[in-house]
Amino acid sequence: MTRINFDHANATPLAPEAKQAMGDWLERAGNPSSLHTAGREAKQAVDTARGHVARLIGAQADEIYFTSCGTESNNWAIKGLLAANRRKGNHVVVSTIEHPSVLLTVRRLEKEGWNVSYLPVTREGVVEPDQLKQALTPSTALVSIMHANGEIGTLEPIAQLARIAKDAGALFHTDAVASTGLVPIDVRAFGVDALSLAANTFGGPFGAAALYVREGLRILPLFEGGGQETGARSGSEALLPIVGMGAAAEAASRAMSQRAATTQRLRDRLKAGIIERVAGVRVNGSWDARLPQHVHVCLDGIGSESLLLGLDQAGIAVGLGSACNSKAMRPSHVLTAIGLSDDEASGAMVLTLGPSTTDADVDAMLERLPAVVERLRHVTAATAR
C-alpha cells in the first residue's frame, strides 16, 4: 500500500535544493566563528543563507537572526522586546488562538506582574481590528498576533493590525511560522517590528529557524555567550541546518506562486470531495483568507485520535487538528476559541498539501476516507450502546 502524506505542516519533505546544499558541507569542517580559511568559508555560507531568508520576507540580511526553532523565535521576540523596551509600558496583547509558545510565554509574564489582554476571534478565527483598538492602552508595549493559524489555516489582516498597534505606540510581532514560504510576506508592507519563521515549513530542515527584528530596534538576547549573531543570539551557528534553510528559502521564493496555485486547486478539490463523500462534515477557518495548502475539518461521531490512527492504518498521514489530550480528548484551545463545543470539535483533522501532492493522492484520500469513517462511527455507536 502506497503511503500518502497529508501532514506537510508537521513534516515537510526536505527540498532537493536544501539537501544538495547541506550535502556540500557534510564532509567539510568549518566554524563560522573561526578566522582560518575553513571558518571564513563557513561564515560566507551562513551569510549567503541569511540573504536568501531575508529576501523571502522582504527584509535586509542584517535584520535576520538564526535560531533553532519557531518556539525559540517566539519566546525571544516577546521576552527580548519587552525587556529592552520596558519604558513603553507593562501591557501585552495577544489573540486567543496563538501558538502555545506565545500563550505560555505571556502567561508566565502575567505571573511576573505583566498585564495581558487576550483578543477573541470570530467563528472563522479572524482577529477583528476593532477588538485590537479596544484592547490597546497607553501602557501597551507589545502586540503579538500570528500571521496564519497552523491548525485552522486562517490568515490574519496583519498589515491592518500592525498599523493600529503602531499608531498607539506599541511594538508588533507576528508568528509567521505557518505561512512563510507558502504565501507572499513583506515585512515592510506588513509594518511589523519582528517576525518569526521556521525552515521546516518551506522545505528546510528541522533545527533551523529565524527571527526578523526591524533595524534599529533593541532586543535583549535570550542566551549569553560567545557573541554570535552580532551578540544577539550566542552559540555556535548550526551550519548544516542554516545552509539548508537558506537554500530552501531561495527555492521557495522562486516557486511560491506556482506551488500555491497547484496546491490550492488540489486543496479545493479535496475539500469538495470530502463534503460529497462523507456526511456530518464541518469545515473550519476562513475560506477567503486562508493558507493555500490547508484544509481543516471536523467529522461528527468520531474521536480525533481514532481518526488519525485509522487513516494511518489506511496509509494516510494527517494532522491531529484538535491537539487533544489522549485521555481527556478535549478540543484544542483554537477550536474552543472559535466557539466549537466538544461535540462540534470531534473528529478534527488538519490536511496540509505540499509540492509533491498529486491528483492521485487526493483520489486515494477520497477513496479511503469514507470506509475509515464508516468503520469508526460504527465502533463509536456500538460502544455508546
Using one digit for the tens of pLDDT, what is the confidence trace for 231-245? 778 787 889 999 999
Stated pTM of the model: 0.94
Average pLDDT over residues 279-301: 96
Alpha helix stretches (DSSP H) within 147-278: 158-167, 187-190, 239-277
What is the model's pLDDT at position 116?
Answer: 98
98: alpha, beta or left? (left if phi > 0; alpha if psi -120 to 50): beta
| Top mean-pLDDT range of 29-33, 341-345, 356-360 | 356-360
d(CA 107, CA 116): 8
For 155-164, the pLDDT digits (tens) are: 999 999 999 9
User: CATH 3.40.640.10 region(s) of the chain?
Assistant: 16-252
For 181-193, the pLDDT digits (tens) are: 999 999 999 999 9
Q: Does domain 4-11+256-384 have CATH number 3.90.1150.10?
A: yes
Length, in residues, of the chain: 385
What is the model's pLDDT at position 135?
Answer: 98
| Top mean-pLDDT range of 8-12, 26-30, 170-174, 225-229 | 170-174
Task: Identify the band that residue 324 occupies on the pLDDT scale cut at 50, 70 and 90.
Answer: very low
Q: Which long-range contacts (CB under 8 A, 24 or more apart) does 110-117 make?
A: 114/82, 114/90, 115/90, 115/91, 115/139, 116/91, 116/92, 117/91, 117/92, 117/93
Three-state DSSP class for residue 334: helix
* Stronger pLDDT, 27 or 193, i.e. the higher one: 193
d(CA 291, CA 148): 7
Task: Identify the band that residue 60 occupies on the pLDDT scale cut at 50, 70 and 90.
Answer: very high
Alpha helix stretches (DSSP H) within the chain: 16-23, 37-57, 70-84, 100-111, 129-135, 158-167, 187-190, 239-277, 304-313, 333-337, 359-384
What is the model's pLDDT at position 328?
Answer: 45
CA distances to 66, 67, 367 from 45, rounded to whole Å, are 13, 16, 46
Three-state DSSP class for residue 369: helix
- Do the beta carbons of residue 246 and residue 21 sit within 8 Å? yes
Respond yes or no: is residue 298 known to be catalytic. Answer: no
Task: Identify the band that residue 329 occupies on the pLDDT scale cut at 50, 70 and 90.
Answer: low
DSSP class of residue 290?
B
Question: Is the model's pLDDT at 384 over the cut of 90?
Answer: no
Question: Is the model's pLDDT at 136 over the cut of 90?
Answer: yes
Question: Is the model's pLDDT at 31 over the cut of 90?
Answer: no
DSSP class of residue 127?
P
Question: Is the model's pLDDT at 38 over the cut of 80?
Answer: no
What is the model's pLDDT at position 377?
Answer: 92
The three cell numbers locating residue 190? 506588513
Average pLDDT over residues 259-288: 97
Question: Is the model's pLDDT at 321 over the cut of 80?
Answer: no
193: alpha, beta or left? (left if phi > 0; alpha if psi -120 to 50): alpha
Domain 16-252: which topology? Aspartate Aminotransferase; domain 2 (3.40.640)
Q: What are phi and psi of 166, to 5 degrees?
A: -65, -35
Of the listed ranges 40-44, 65-69, 216-220, 273-277, the one predicted with least confidence: 40-44
- Kindly state the percentage of the chain with pLDDT values over 90: 82
User: CATH 3.90.1150.10 region(s) of the chain?
Assistant: 4-11+256-384
Catalytic residue among 324, 334, 351, 364: 324
Residue with cell 467563528: 123
Alpha helix stretches (DSSP H) within 123-157: 129-135
Residue with cell 520596558: 86
d(CA 225, CA 42): 20
Angle between helices 100-111 and 70-84 (to 10 degrees): 30
What is the model's pLDDT at position 1?
Answer: 72
Question: Is the model's pLDDT at 98 over the cut of 90?
Answer: yes
Average pLDDT over residues 24-34: 77
